[in-house]
Amino acid sequence: MSDTSAAFLGEQEIMIRDSARKVAAEVVAPTAAERDRTATWPRSELQAVADLGFLGMLIPEEYGGAGASFVEYCLAIEEFAAADTGFATLIHVHNSVGLAVARLGNEEQKRKYLSDLASGKRIGAFLLSEPHAGSDTAAFRTQARREGEHYVLNGSKQFISNGNEAGLGLVLAVTDKAAGKQGSSLLMVDPQEHPGYVVSCVEHKMGQRSAHVAQIQLDQCRVPVGNRLGEEGAGYRNVMGSLSEGRVAIAAVATGTARAALDAAVGYAKEREAYGAPIINLQGVAFDLADMAAQVDVAHQYMVHAARLCEAGVACAKEASMAKLFASEMAEKVCSDALQIHGGYGYLSDFPVERYCRDVRVTKIYEGTSHIQKLIIARALG
């Protein structure tokens, strides 16, 4: 894909994007296929990107982070997704935890946790979804009962990215059942310090296998009141306030994956010959590639636009949903078309397009399904 978007990026944005592209190509991509096959946690790869500041991108420099802008962050996430979709998801969830602590934490909490998150000493996880609360985010049932200077957590969390590797989990729990959505709080749980954080299982997934997803049981898990993040009763509101950024970041994940699939398809079409010439000379293949390139470029440009709105503090729920909806739907189609161009070889695990098709599918589900995005957009139209 041509790099025309650089004309609309600042010097710092280009530098961070290129740095992410380099480490993704040199460190993350070479082991992606093997990690997909074995579902291995990318420990050494995470340390390599942590050393370059990519695990603390949204954490202020005074706490050991990179202090990057949200646009810079999304550009980096796209590059990591082009190397390994699951790796990009993993570090996105981790960085989101750092951002939440940086925004909502008091000084003591920031000093205790942010440098460890930025260095990769602690991996972050968000414990939001539950067996009965997926798209219906307000239906969560996990309870946090106040006992003196502690909360006692009980409940189940489902589909928790990084949950089995977490050194810091942000748990959304009910602290006042009578208050509804206004009766929830975010609590910081350290699985090593707070007994009762139990990994029930690590899921076997269709794709993104190096991004582990776990079921977590909270069984009489005692957490100090000092580990509450933000005000009591403000948990749900604080989580909802970060949804737009999360959706734009997933647009970056989807776009990066689609770009990798496009690049693979172009490379294959130039090498594969049929009827005495490379198949890229066949009009049908060439037109498919042209459509794919146009879709990837449009998704990238709109993702950057939505990221700039988030960065500016503009209310942009509609634009964030548009970015995620378009990018994820586009990416599934582009990955499928890339596999088709490969023919029978595309169906083999020896070629990366097979993995891209599996990896990209969940971008239409997590951080809000495509139907949820359409609902948000439609409501914004009045």
pLDDT digits (tens, 9 = 90+) for 207-257: 999 999 999 999 999 999 999 999 999 999 999 989 999 999 999 999 999
Q: Is the pLDDT of residue 259 over 90?
A: yes
In our burial notation (b when 16+ CB lie closer than 10 A, e otherwise), range 213-235 reads bbbbebeebebeeebbbbebebb
Q: In whole angstroms, how far apart are CA 229 and each of 6, 140, 159, 309, 327?
A: 38, 18, 22, 26, 32
Do 4-122 and 242-380 agree at the fold level?
no
Please, which residues have CB within 8 angstroms of residue 298's CB and are 6 or more apart in sequence? 326, 330
Q: Which residue has the tokens 């049929």?
A: 274
Cut 0.85: pTM above it: yes
Q: What is the pLDDT of residue 5?
A: 67
Residues 29-82: tens digit of each pLDDT:
999 999 999 999 999 999 999 999 999 999 999 999 999 999 999 999 999 999
- Distance between CA atoms of 35 and 89, rounded to whole angstroms? 14
The architecture of the domain spanning 242-380 is Up-down Bundle (1.20)
Percent of the chain topping pLDDT 70: 99
Q: What is the pLDDT of residue 134?
A: 74
Q: Could you give the angle at the alpha carbon of 359 between the alpha carbons of 356 and 363, nearest 5°?
A: 120
Domain boundaries, the chain: 4-122, 125-233, 242-380
Q: What is the pLDDT of residue 8?
A: 84
11 is catalytic: no
Q: What is the pLDDT of residue 382?
A: 85
Provide the 8-state DSSP code for 286: H
Residues 133-186: tens digit of each pLDDT:
777 777 889 999 999 999 999 999 999 999 999 999 999 999 999 998 889 999
- Distance between CA atoms of 168 and 113, rounded to whole angstroms? 8
When the pLDDT of each residue in the chain is averaged and rounded to a whole number, the result is: 96
Provide the 8-state DSSP code for 206: S
Q: Are 124 and 166 in contact (CB under 8 A)?
A: yes
CATH superfamily of domain region 125-233: Butyryl-CoA Dehydrogenase, subunit A, domain 2 (2.40.110.10)
Domain 4-122 in CATH 1.10.540.10? The answer is: yes
Residues 56-65: tens digit of each pLDDT:
999 999 999 9
Q: What is the pLDDT of residue 257?
A: 99
